[in-house]
Amino acid sequence: MYYFLIIAFSVICLAVMPFFLVEQKNPSIRSLILKMICASMFLLVGVTAAKKTGANPYARFMLLGLLCAWFGDLFLHIQGKAKAACQVIGVLAFLSAHVMYLIAFGKELKLLSPQTKMFSVSAAIFVAAVLILYTVIVFVTKTPMNPALIGLYVYAIFLTFMCFTALRLSAVVFPSCAPGAIMLGTGAILFVLSDGSLGILMFNKKLKTNFPLKIFNIGTYFVGQLMLAATILYIGG
């Protein structure tokens, strides 16, 4: 029953996503409803998985992360006079989501591999490499330099460290649970790709309406979230 529900919620999310992609060209209440249906589906996948495995620490922090992301989706889509303030709230909500995911991955990593250090030279190199990649993309896409980009880089540090920790946990989990490890690693990478493309869409006016880039952004985001939510079935139980 639990697996059927998780599959059903995932299918609904992926089925509604194309309609949202079309509607979001002109943000409205309709596009917001479609977006939140998709967001609610990955949240329901997480809740259903947690019901199956029990409320262990990994599940609790993952659910908090999914909930923060749900609010991030909501606030980032609000238009009108409150748009600027809502975008700040939305970014902070997503930052909180990454922190919750990071805590979930970190706790499970320390439990399964006590000798592993959260902060290490390899982690610093990984984060630095991704930040350099972001910088190259900024210059290649001719994205105008903006004070807000500083905030984007701070956000990117948390995002990439979350991804690195997810990949380390994925490597530890893989021998005993390949499906969970693959979903964890792939989901984290897709989240990084989604947020990277979102940064370009937000700061580059020339690419702001680039539909293929939006398809990439939305597709990687929702598939990534569904995968991360489903890891609760395999990790921490």
Span 154-171, average pLDDT: 89
**Does residue 139 have a pLDDT over 90?**
no
This prediction has a pTM of 0.89
What is the pLDDT, as a whole number, of residue 237? 65
What is the pLDDT, as a whole number, of residue 149? 67
Span 182-211, average pLDDT: 86
Task: Label residues 190-223 b or e (16+ Cβ within 10 Å = b).
Answer: bbbbbbbbbbbbbbbeebeebeebbebbbbbbbb
Span 81-86, average pLDDT: 86
Please choose, from the candidates 94, 99, 80, the residue with its C-alpha nearest in 3D space to the C-alpha of residue 32.
80
Condensed to tens digits (0 to 9), the pLDDT of residues 99-137 reads: 999 999 999 999 998 887 777 777 788 778 877 877 777
The neighbour count for residue 82, using CB atoms within 10 Å, is: 11
Give the number of C-alpha atoms closer than 13 A to the C-alpha of residue 134, restricted to the C-beta side.
27
